[in-house]
Amino acid sequence: MTQTVDQARSDRALIEEATKKSGLIWVRGAEGPSRALWHVWHEGAVCLIGDGDGEQPLAGLGLVDGGTATVTVRSKDKGGRLVAWEARVVELAPRSEPWTATAAELKAKRLNAPDSDRITERWARECRVLRLEPLGPAAQRPDAMPDGSLAAAPYPSPATTRQEMPAALPRLLRKGLKRR
């Protein structure tokens, strides 16, 4: 029992520290693939803003109030997966006390907002503010990672279609090196 309590404390500390230090997290809701999202860690949970004009898209993830999501956090120094955990999704009511406190934290971290002086009013009208609260121990952590690659195949797109290299390209590259 002591080991379980110690592991739960250790997992909670890992989740909090890794998530605080990471600029992006990957979130997978009830629908669709995982998506990289910016966030803040506030009062024991990941806080997200989205679905408004100029904000990150949350639609298509299936993040609904009372639902669950999987959050994956990478290591800041190595870039690999560090921890993955299950979360309960809580949607905050606009202009409520928790919403106001969370929006203030998000506003402080929001980069390049075109309307930074009136951003919270726009968020209250157009956006969703979500809290992803950890549920239990980490599903994946450094000593408990799944075997094999967890890489996802890219979605089909004309942007990812590889075409043959133009015949003249090697010659053009050699010319560029000779000029130096």
Tell me the HSE value of 101 on the side-chain side, using a 13 A CA sphere: 8
On the question of pLDDT at 163 being above 80, the answer is: no
- Please tell me which residue, 117 or 90, carries the higher pLDDT value: 90
- Write the CATH number for 87: 2.30.110.10
Average pLDDT, the chain: 87
Q: How far apart are CA 90 and CA 80, in angstroms?
A: 28
* Global confidence as pTM: 0.80
Give residue 82's pLDDT. 87
Closest to 89 in 3D by CA, of 61, 69, 60, 62: 69
160 secondary structure, DSSP code:
G
State how many domains the chain has: 1
Interval 130-153 mean pLDDT? 85
Of 155 and 71, the structure prediction assigns the larger pLDDT to 71
Contacts of 69 (CB under 8 A, 6+ apart): 27, 28, 29, 30, 61, 63, 86, 87, 89, 132
Q: What is the pLDDT of residues 85-99, one digit of tens each?
A: 999 999 999 999 999
Task: Identify the domain containing residue 12 by its residue range.
Answer: 2-179
CA distance readout (Å), 68 to 24, 35, 81, 100, 133: 19, 15, 20, 23, 9
Transcribe 112-145 into DSSP letters. Answer: S-TTTTSHHHHHHHH-EEEEEEE-SS-SBBTTBP
